Amino acid sequence: MKKIPQEIIDALNSGQRESSNLMEFLSVDIKLLLKNVLPEFDCPIFPIPFGVTKKHRMIGAELQKQFGFAIFEKLKTHKSDTIRTFACYLLGEQKNSFAQKLELVRPLADDGNAGVREWAWIVLRDDLLLDLDIPLKSLVAWTSDPSDNIRRFASELTRPRGVWCKHIAALRARPWLGLPILLPLYSDPAKYVQLSVGNWLNDAGKDHPSWVIDLCREWKKSSPTTETNKICKRAMRNLPTL
């Protein structure tokens, strides 16, 4: 494994640059970064061992406790992607409605850094576990957004199983509830969105293979495009071919 140059590590820990890959992201000394960016912040002591997601959640809670939501604007526009990630988790601590959180998270969901975009949807995942109906209705408009990132966010947030997050039991049991999100995207031109929709259906296929097979058959018949075929191929990768 190639070693990260010390000057890059120093820049990451000072908050003067963002990470360009997962290896750089994981190399960040969170306590040192926070000390450099928010010297007034009393960083919590992390248990050992303690995963990255749990650390971020704890920091989000402490940021809320020590500063409140007023610091959100500063965090969400910071040069460091790790600091912008903390903005996501601070938002997750708020009692706002899902629609309000959705509007606040938009810049982070459309962030230029792929890692920040992941944390943005992961943080809002808990809201879907509480009430699926309202979030699904709120996300429909995002499926027609000009930004590939925003359209992909709507799909990724609602994946029945997802990655690094809790499963959504209601969508595992009844994946067809997600059709208002999936239908506008079944021939999306962006590969980023295609991969997410394909993965969404691959998740669903683990519990309802027949439903996914029938849906892909219907999609390929009504939309015989390269884009739809790519989505269905990914969706069906663990199921019998059509």
User: 91 with 134, same domain?
Assistant: no
Question: Is 200 domain-assigned?
Answer: yes
Question: Is 149 domain-assigned?
Answer: yes
Question: Is 41 domain-assigned?
Answer: yes
User: 164 with 69, same domain?
Assistant: no
User: 136 with 234, same domain?
Assistant: yes
What is the extent of the structural domain holding 138? Answer: 130-242
Q: Is the peptide bond before 49 cis (omega within 30 degrees of 0)?
A: yes
> Alpha-carbon distance 191 to 79, whole Å?
27
pTM score, two decimals?
Answer: 0.93
CA nearest neighbour of 46 among 127, 34, 188:
34
> Alpha-carbon distance 68 to 122, whole Å?
21
Let me know: does 57 contact 89? Beta carbons within 8 Å. Answer: yes
Question: Is 181 domain-assigned?
Answer: yes
Contacts with 92 (C-beta within 8 Å, 6 or more apart), sequence order: 57, 60, 123, 124, 126
Let me know: does 178 contact 171? Beta carbons within 8 Å. Answer: yes
CA nearest neighbour of 203 among 150, 151, 165:
165
User: 134 with 239, same domain?
Assistant: yes
Question: Is 82 domain-assigned?
Answer: yes
Domain boundary among 95, 111, 144: 95
User: 68 with 154, same domain?
Assistant: no
Residue 32, helix vs strand vs coil: helix
Question: Is 122 domain-assigned?
Answer: no
User: 76 with 159, same domain?
Assistant: no
Question: Is 112 domain-assigned?
Answer: no
Residue 128, helix vs strand vs coil: helix
Q: Which residues of the chain have pLDDT under 70?
A: 1, 241-242
- Tally of structural domains, the chain: 2
Domain boundary among 42, 70, 95: 95
Q: Mind listing the pLDDT tens digit for each residue in 81-98?
A: 999 999 999 999 999 999
Specify the pLDDT at position 204: 96
Buried b (16+ CB within 10 A) or exposed e, 76-97: bebebbbbbbbbbbbbbbeeee
User: 43 with 149, same domain?
Assistant: no
Domain boundary among 44, 75, 95: 95
User: 163 with 78, same domain?
Assistant: no
140 CB-side CA count, 13 A? 11
For residue 214, give the CATH number of its domain.
1.25.40.290
User: 91 with 137, same domain?
Assistant: no
User: 85 with 162, same domain?
Assistant: no
